[in-house]
Structure 1
Amino acid sequence: MKKNRLLIAVGLFALLPFTAFADECVLVIEATDQMTYNTKKMSVPASCETVKVTLKHIGSLAKDMMGHNWVLTKADDMQAIVKEGAAAGLDNNYLPEGDDRIIAATEVIGGGESAEVEFSTEGLADEKLTFFCSFPGHSGMMNGRFNIK
């Protein structure tokens, strides 16, 4: 009986590195009614083949008043996407439809809501990447660097 418990404990302990490794590829970021994210830098190890980002809007205002999303692009593409996205409107999450420059994006959410996006990191390790909120007027304060190390 003791031998079985020991084997189970050793087996569970052996799984810990894999669990921790998987958790490094899952990120959570929060947005507020004060037009801020809770971080300006996000990173994942280069060993992550896919990344899952969860955006939590911890404020209380509706998405048409203070909505937020999380968008990932190459840094050089951000301003053009923000400009073109404003014309696309809320129904399109303030993003130009079908734009290949957008690597990943959540929908626009309001206070108390959350959204997720999962994307491949293939070919992105050497790119200068930026995340931002595309809601009009938000990207100036709500942006940051995304690193794949």
Structure 2
Amino acid sequence: MPLRTILAITFWGVSLNVQANADCEISIDANDIMQFSSKILSVPVSCKEVKLTLNHTGKMPAQSMGHNIVITDSENVQAVGTDGMSAGFENNYLKPADDRVYASTKVIGGGESTSVIFNTEKMSPVGDYTFFCSFPGHWAIMQGKFELTS
């Protein structure tokens, strides 16, 4: 096989990998009036790992208006949120090692960003997943759907 063909195939493979990785990175904003910038977060089912970034676009500190993002089965949102309130700020308002949680970020304040890389292999394209902020009083309002799409 000529060198030019090998190089072309190599560059094509690299460009596909870059595109696939870009599809597996999502970002969402949260503000001081307890709103996420989107009600739906979705990634292709082909993403085995996802990088999720949360940007707090407000100005208030984490202790008074902090936000994080947590992904769990929709049926577990209330239980995870309630358990998280007693876990406290130092645990990002999540019960430590909670196996109901697929992904979570730390609680951040205005002007801060945080990211988490998580594995989707335990999730199903037909699963019902919710993302929410576990800060006390926020989880009932700050919610959206997380989807694996084909």
Same-fold status (TM-score > 0.5): yes
Q: What is the TM-score of this pair, normalised by structure 2?
A: 0.88
1:98-148 CA distance string (max 9 Å, x none): 111011100000001111111111031232111000001111221100001
Measured in 1, the distance between the counterparts of 2:12 and 2:31 equals 38
Kindly report the root-mean-square deviation, in angstroms, between the aligned alpha carbons of the 2 structures.
1.9
Q: Give ranges in structure 2 of 5+ residues lacking alignment.
A: none
Tell me what 2:147 maps to. 147
Code of the aligned partner of 2:142: M
- Percent sequence identity is 43
Tell me what 2:39 maps to. 40
Q: What is the TM-score of this pair, normalised by structure 1?
A: 0.89
Shift of 1:10: 9.3
Shift of 1:11: 7.0
Paired residues for 1:1-149 under 5 Å: 15-125=14-124, 126-149=126-149
Measured in 1, the distance between the counterparts of 2:96 and 2:12 equals 46
SS at match of 2:114: strand
SS at match of 1:130: strand
SS at match of 1:82: helix
Q: Give ranges in structure 1 of 5+ residues lacking alignment.
A: none
Aligned residues: 144
Measured in 2, the distance between the counterparts of 1:37 and 1:127 equals 22
SS at match of 2:76: helix
SS at match of 1:95: coil
Code of the aligned partner of 1:116: S
